[in-house]
Amino acid sequence: MATSSLNHERFEVAIIGAGMAGLAAGIRLAIAGKKVIILERHNASGGLNSFYSIDGRKYDVGLHALTNYVPRGTKGAPLTKLLRQLRIPYDALDLSPQIQSRIAFPDCELKFTNDFQYFESQVAERFPQQIDGFKKLVHDIRELDAFALNTPQASARQRVQDYIQDPLLEDMLFCPVMYYGSATEHDMDYSQFAIMFRSLFFEGFARPFAGVRTIIKLLQDKYRSLGGIRKMKCGVQSILHNGKQASGLLLDSGDCIYADKIISTAGLLETYQLFEQPAENSVQRHIGQLSFTETITALDQSPQDFGWNDTIVFFNTRERFHYGRVEDQLVDPTSGVLCFPNNYQYGEGRSLNEGLLRVTAMANYQQWCALDEAGYLAQKDYWYDALQKVALSLLPIPKTGFSLQEHTLARDVFTPRTVRKFTGHLNGAIYGASHKVKDGRTPLDNLFLAGTDQGFLGIVGALMSGISMANLHGLSGTHSA
């Protein structure tokens, strides 16, 4: 169907963005029998969690690990709930749990697996003075109703300091939690912290054997099988409205479609810009400032052949962990994340056909954007080398004179410019705006937010966001008329 045939068509719900949240919302609405359309500007689904190909090699963006991993049939867990809501069978995700991850700081290391007891024993061993406080913090996180939509914001740093007095342990707990989902610098909302802490440590990491593609394909197929319509390369130029109600969408093509309700996963400020409301200062102030760069190296051997057995390594090489905008250089190489997609328990006889090493660090969006093309390529090379050096300093050396380059089959670097392209987020802000709108409401009665800026993060969080916003705003109370 050509895009032009959409002109003046009416839908019950139009969804902006075919990322995890948009696809999940679309599935829920299609299950309910709604006439629904998803519009995506990019040519691939998945948003932040997508993939691209160079020379026939597919590289994942996002997805180091699916957090919130629980075994099949685990009652009450977010993963179980969302699969039920999407009516996707657990086994279709083809998840394999992680081997072991660690938090590596100068002179201190905490290992963790998907068994929380192991992490607790690591904390007890390294921080015997802090273990009682740690246990109290864990209890508090377990008891918190973190998904309540009306919880007031609270400083996670302050709450954690109530229990933990050693700043080293505090920073070591914040490092993975922030890297996997904090849109705010230095500190984060306590309920966000609790959600992420649970998803990383109480539950755990897993990965589909074929990476993020498995998840995207499942969602797309499900949505299509339910009769949902999805339009790619179909950007939204503006939201049509009368100041109170949205009536439809003007597309980049010049066509317009009408919708009774609109769910936008474009981001808070990005959505506001679509209805031409000059952004209030309070919204403007919350433009995300955190963007990432990531290097990907394809290796001729499995990482384990080099003695690299970690699944994920969260690292910091400074005295205090700094999670904030990068001020005066392109990349801050002093903290970040290493990931070996090979190091999951894929089972007997199943292994990825190449070794992969990914290194993620914080980066400055404006500086990357200011480069001309030659400068951009040169800086990608420079920071590729710099980040591999950091990575190798955190890993055992296989043998004297080891050269990563000799084992490298292919490499790529993605930058804040890439993040911007895939997510459409202003500033290439990986986790969106620093202010989240938990109930998804906007100044327009029938326009709602879902996805990153609604506030549930990670892949499971994004899916849950799409589901809960579709349930709350798209399904309830619509049949009374």
Partner 1 sequence: MTEEQVQQIVIDIINEIAPDEDTSNLDPAVSLRDQMDLDSMDFLDIVMELRKQHGIEVPEADYPQLASLASCGSYLTPLFNAK
Residues that bind partner 1 (CB under 8 A): 31-33, 73, 75-76, 80-81, 84-85, 87, 89, 467-468, 471, 475-477, 479-480
Distance in angstroms (rounded) separating the CA atoms of residues 37 and 22: 10
As a whole number of angstroms, the distance between CA 100 and CA 106 comes to 19
Distance, CA of 199 to CA of 66 (rounded, Å) = 9
The answer to whether 323 and 174 have CB atoms below 8 angstroms apart is yes
Residue 85 CB, nearest approach to partner 1 (Å) = 6
CB of 33 to partner 1, least distance (A): 6
3-class secondary-structure state, position 347 = coil
Residue closer to partner 1 (CB basis): 86 or 200? 86
Minimum distance, C-beta of residue 375 to partner 1, in the bound complex (Å): 50
Q: Quick one: DSSP state of residue 471?
A: I
CB of 268 to partner 1, least distance (A): 25
Token pair in block for residue 91? 């086994």
E strands, 61-112, where?
95-97, 101-105, 108-112
Q: Helix 212-225 crosses helix 20-31 at what angle (to 10 degrees)? A: 30
**Nearest 5°: phi and psi at 476?**
-70, 140
Which residue, 143 or 372, is less far from partner 1 as judged by CB?
143
Residue 477: CB minimum distance to partner 1, A: 7
Given the complex with partner 1, which of 214 and 468 has the nearer CB atom?
468
* Nearest of 203, 204, 200, 268 to residue 455 by alpha carbon: 268
Instruction: Give least dist CB 227 to partner 1, A.
Output: 13
Tokens of 202: 């109480």
- Residues 229/38, Cβ–Cβ less than 8 Å: yes
CA atoms within 13 A on the CB side of 12: 15
Residue 29 vs 392, nearer CB to partner 1: 29
Rounded Cα gap, residues 241 and 234, in angstroms: 20
Which residue, 108 or 475, is less far from partner 1 as judged by CB?
475
CB 429 within 8 A of CB 287: yes
Q: Smaller CB distance to partner 1: residue 74 or 393? A: 74
360 vs 468 by CB, closer to partner 1: 468
Q: How far apart are CA 436 and CA 456, in angstroms?
A: 9
Give the amino acid at 48. L
Is 357 in contact with 338 (CB distance < 8 Å)?
A: yes
- Of 312 and 467, nearer to partner 1 (C-beta) is 467
Q: Which lies closer to partner 1 via its Cβ, residue 31 or residue 386?
A: 31
Q: Which residues pair with 207 in a beta bridge?
A: 96
Tell me the closest approach of the beta carbon of residue 451 to partner 1, in angstroms.
18
Strands 101-105 and 312-316: parallel
What's the number of CA atoms in the CB half-sphere (13 Å) around residue 313?
Answer: 23
Classify residue 140 as left (phi > 0), alpha (psi -120 to 50) or beta. alpha
Q: Which is nearer to partner 1, 28 or 325 (CB)?
A: 28
Say how many Å lie between the first and final Cα of the chain, rounded. Answer: 32
Nearer to partner 1 among residue 282 and residue 480 (C-beta):
480
Residues 352 and 339 sit within 8 Å (Cβ to Cβ): no
